[in-house]
Structure 1
Amino acid sequence: MINLKILRAYLISVGCLFLSACVLVNDPKPATSPPPESTIEIQLNELAHSHFKQVEARFQTNQSRALVFRVLSDIDKTSQWLTRVEDLQVLAVYNNHQYLLRTLLNSPWPFRDRELITCVETAFEDSLTIINIYSCSDRVPENEDYLRLQAVESKWQLRELSDSVLEVQYQTWIDPAGNVPAFIFNRELIKNTKSDLKKLQQIIEESHLSDFAY
C-alpha cells in the first residue's frame, strides 16, 4: 500500500511547478468577499449510449487554485464531502501526473456495495488545472465482495476567471450496474450532487494553505 501522505506531497510538489501560488507561505485573503455558498449550478445531460445521465456542475470561490487542488487531493478527507465513499486506496503511481485509484462505495439496501478502479490524470496550464478520472478496471482483478463498476468518466476543471475568482467545474457519468433503474438513479443525481458539492464548498472556504504540510 502506498503511503497517501507521501503521495499527496509528491503530487502537490509537481503541481507547484505550475501553480505560482504554491510558493506562498501564507494563504492570501482576497480583497473581495467570497461568492455565496448557495451558488452551485447543476444540470443533467442526456447521453446517446446510456440511459443514465451525466451530471455537470460548477461553482465559484475566491480561494486560490493551489488551495482547491490541495483539498481535492486530500484523499483521507474525501469521505467528508462525497457521501457514498467508504474508502479510497492509491494502488500505483505511474508517473508525475497519473496514478491508479481504488474506490469503495456504500450502496443503499438492497443493492451491493460498489468498487471502482480508475486512472487519475492531472494536467496543469497557466490558468487551468484539469483532473481526468476514467475506468481502468482491467488492471485489477475483481473482488467478489463488491460489484465492480466498469464505466465511469469524471473531470474536474479549476479555471482562474480573474486574480480573485476561481471557477470549479465538475462533470461525471457513471453506469451503476446491477440492474439499478435509470429513472431512480437519474432522479437522485441533482439532489445528491448538490449536497456533496455544498459540503465540498464549505471545506474549501474554511481551508487555508497553512492547513497542509505539503
Structure 2
Amino acid sequence: MRSMIKTIVLTTMLTMLSVWTYAQDWKLAKDEDGIKVYTRSMEGSKYKAYRGIVQIKATPEQIAQLQENATTSCAWLYRCQQLKVLKQQGREGWTYMRIEMPWPVTARDVVLHVTSEQLASGGFLRRLKGVPDYIPPVEGYIRVSSFDGTWQVTPKTADNVEVIYEAQSEPGGSVPSWLANSFVVDAPFNTLQRLRKTAESR
C-alpha cells in the first residue's frame, strides 16, 4: 500500500514538474492591445511554436459560428487568401487554406484535419492537424508539410470568453529567417485582433 502511495505521489510530482517546465518554455514576445503572444523553441525544428491569448466579449457559440463559416474565417485569419471546407463529418472536418506570403516568397497552402470537442466549462477545443497528402499539390503553392495547433475557447462570464490560439508548423520550402521570426508573432496577434473585432462588432 505504501509503495502504491509513493508511486502515485511521485507520478503526480513528475507530471506537475513536466507541466511547469513546459509552461516556463513559453516566452512573452508581444503584449499589446489586450493580446499576449508567447513563443517557444521546438526540438528538432528551426521554427518556433506560438500561443496567443485574448479575451473577447462574446459567447463560445458566437466564436464557434465565426470559425465554422469559411468566408468569415478567411476575413480574420492572418494572410488568408482562400479558405474552403473540403469535407465535414460530424465533429470532424477537412479544410483547405491558401496563405499569402510577401514577395519574393512563394505562397503556401495547407490542408487541415479539424476535430472539435465540448469542454465541461461550456467552451470548446478544436485540434488542427496538417494532412498535406489529403489532396494533390496545387500549382503555384508550396504545401505546408506539418501543422499542429489548437483553439481553446473558455467562458469567463455570461458574455466574455478567453480564446487561446496555439500552433507550430513546418512551412515547407525555404523561408527567410526574418519572415519566420515575425510570422510566429504576427500570425496569432493579427488573427486574434481581427477575430475580436469581428465578434464584438456583431
TM, length-normalised to structure 1: 0.73
Deviation at 1:42, TM superposition (A): 0.8
Residues of 1 paired with 2:105 and 2:98: CA distance?
A: 14
Match of 2:77 in 1: 82
Structure 2: unaligned runs, 5 residues or longer: 1-31
Structure 1: unaligned runs, 5 residues or longer: 1-36, 208-214
Match of 1:182 in 2: 177
Deviations 1:30-58 (A, max 9, x none): xxxxxxx9211111111112111111011
Residues of 2 paired with 1:67 and 1:73: CA distance?
A: 10
Match of 1:141 in 2: 136
The answer to whether the Cα contact below 8 Å between 1:51 and 1:182 also exists between their aligned partners in 2 is no
Deviation at 1:115, TM superposition (A): 1.3
Residues of 2 paired with 1:166 and 1:193: CA distance?
A: 17
Match of 1:73 in 2: 68
Residues of 2 paired with 1:76 and 1:189: CA distance?
A: 24
Residue 119 of structure 1: which of 96, 113, 116 is its match?
113
Residue 188 of structure 2: which of 158, 182, 193 is its match?
193
Match of 1:16 in 2: none
The answer to whether the Cα contact below 8 Å between 2:131 and 2:146 also exists between their aligned partners in 1 is no
The answer to whether the Cα contact below 8 Å between 2:165 and 2:188 also exists between their aligned partners in 1 is no
Matched, 1:108 2:102: yes
Residues of 2 paired with 1:140 and 1:189: CA distance?
A: 26
> In structure 2, what residue type is equivalent to 1:118?
L
Deviations 1:188-211 (A, max 9, x none): 43234323321211111112xxxx
Residues of 2 paired with 1:101 and 1:191: CA distance?
A: 22
- Deviation above 4 Å: which 4+ runs of structure 1? none
Match of 2:90 in 1: 96
> In structure 2, what residue type is equivalent to 1:43?
Y
- Identity of aligned pairs, percent? 21
- Report the aligned-residue RMSD: 1.8
Residues of 2 paired with 1:112 and 1:167: CA distance?
A: 34
> In structure 2, what residue type is equivalent to 1:98?
E
Change (3 A) 1:72 1:190: same
